[in-house]
Amino acid sequence: MRVLYSLMWWLALPLVLGRLWWRGRREPGYRTHLGERLGFYGRRLDKRPTIMVHAVSVGETRAAEPLIEALLAARPDARILLTHMTPTGRATGKALFGKHGDRVIQSFLPYDTGFMVGRFLCHFEPAVCILMETEVWPNLIHGCAKHGVPVALVNARLSEKSLRRGRKIGALMTDAARAITLVAAQTDADAERIASLGAAKVAVTGSIKFDVVPPQAALDTGAMLRARFADRPVLLCASTREGEEALILDAYKALDQRPANMLLVLVPRHPQRFDEVARMVEERGLSLAHRSKLPEHVDTDVLLGDSMGEMFAYYAACDCAFIGGSLLPLGGQNLIEACALGRPVLVGEHTFNFLQATEEAVAAGAALRVPDAPALLRAAAGLLDDDGRRAAMGAHAQAFAARHRGATVRTVELLQQIIA
């Protein structure tokens, strides 16, 4: 099965590279470091122990921050090799860890063929391979086993939908799961599903995302944004996905009892969609400002969050936050950062990627679930008009986030058992 999987990778490689070049029209980072994606690297590193952490994109990279900081503190003799699949993830890693100099180095993970993975492992010689959340790559895991490199899947989550998909490819996924040395799962349900695929050592440590601390620079940026919003009531729609913005804008325009001077802040999850979303706003006759061209006073209907790495700042500047990916069956995004900053949270019906955290937030009074975009705007308007209710939800949100901290310490304790 793995041979067939590898063959499919080789056959698809011209299309994969073509798509990479095509995406580079809007995101030039996709056209950089191409050799790394194919398993070709520069000079050899010195012989310090190398701890590999794979964080595919922005969300996983930000989630890995407390873990990486803890590993750097626990192993002053070692370096971190932080790998990614997207240029935005790489840029986020540089912003977060550039202060550590050569103790944190970065690379794109090569495509998952035996040849490319083998070159990667021979070049970097990692002492351990740590995969974040859902990043199970069969040839990488097989290559690590072949080279005697233990593999840990941390902050691991697996939805029922992903489990069904994994079972469809049968031995490929079960062989990979059996070869993983250690799994640190977010919840009991995640642990049970991962163990059912064959993983032998599975522990429940909680979500590392609860341990992420808002950077002071982000809070300062949030204060600057808030000053430019003045006293306007602000609804943030964070990490929205394709199809959601049109629903939200239509509901916003149709809202009968909109709070006076209400501001809608839209932050699409993918930067290549910034221009598309801007056109949607203008086509509906709504006035628009851009974060990238921020005026002294934001007096428009909508502010487009066309910046990267500023989600904490947006949360700090808003009065309540909707978490995208949940109005449509896309699985939802992480609500923890909004809760940590004490913001009331709104989510749609589709949160299967973060189901337990979302359900617990709703039960704790930190979040409200809405069935559709009109209900979202009505619920947001109600919160923006009710200072007492909004403050109570914000307090519940902060308490909810505080109760779940500590996953990083538990995860590092497990990892120290397998890091040479």
Are the CB atoms for 193 and 160 separated by under 8 Å? yes
Handedness of CA 327, 332, 335, 337 (dihedral sign): negative
Q: 207 and 226: one domain?
A: no
Q: Could you tell me the pTM of the whole model?
A: 0.85
| Whether residue 229 sits in one domain with residue 114 | no
Q: Is residue 2 part of a domain?
A: no
Q: For residue 3, is it within any domain?
A: no
Could you tell me if residue 131 is inside a domain? Answer: yes
* Segments forming the whole domain that contains residue 153: 10-211+407-417
**Residue 136 Cα distances to 130, 132, 180, 267, angstroms:** 10, 9, 9, 29
> 86 CB contacts (<8 Å, ≥6 apart)?
29, 56, 57, 58
Which listed residue (60, 65, 69, 245) is catalytic? 60
Phi, psi of 250, deg, nearest 5:
-65, -45
Count of structural domains, the chain: 2
In a domain, 379, yes or no: yes
Give the CA angle between residues 217, 240, 206 to the nearest 5°: 65
In-domain check, residue 62:
yes
Q: Respond yes or no: is residue 244 known to be catalytic.
A: no
The CATH number that applies at residue 314 is 3.40.50.2000
Distance CA 131, CA 268 (A): 26
33 in the same domain as 87: yes
**Spatial contact of 233 and 263, defined as CB atoms under 8 Å apart:** yes
CATH number (domain holding residue 413): 3.40.50.11720
Phi, psi of 134 (to 5 degrees): -130, 10
Say how far apart CA 376 and CA 379 lie, in whole Å. Answer: 5
The answer to whether residue 116 sits within a structural domain is: yes
pLDDT tens for the 420 residues of the chain, in order: 788 889 999 999 999 999 999 989 888 899 999 999 999 998 888 889 999 999 988 888 988 999 999 999 999 999 999 999 999 899 999 999 999 999 999 999 999 999 999 999 999 999 999 999 988 899 999 999 999 999 999 999 988 888 888 787 778 888 999 999 999 999 999 999 999 999 989 999 999 999 988 989 999 999 999 999 999 999 999 999 999 999 999 999 999 888 989 999 999 998 889 999 999 999 999 999 999 999 999 999 999 999 988 999 999 999 999 999 999 999 999 999 999 999 999 999 999 988 889 999 999 999 999 999 999 999 999 999 999 999 999 999 999 999 999 999 999 999 999 987
Please indicate, yes or no, if residue 366 is contained in any of the structural domains. Answer: yes
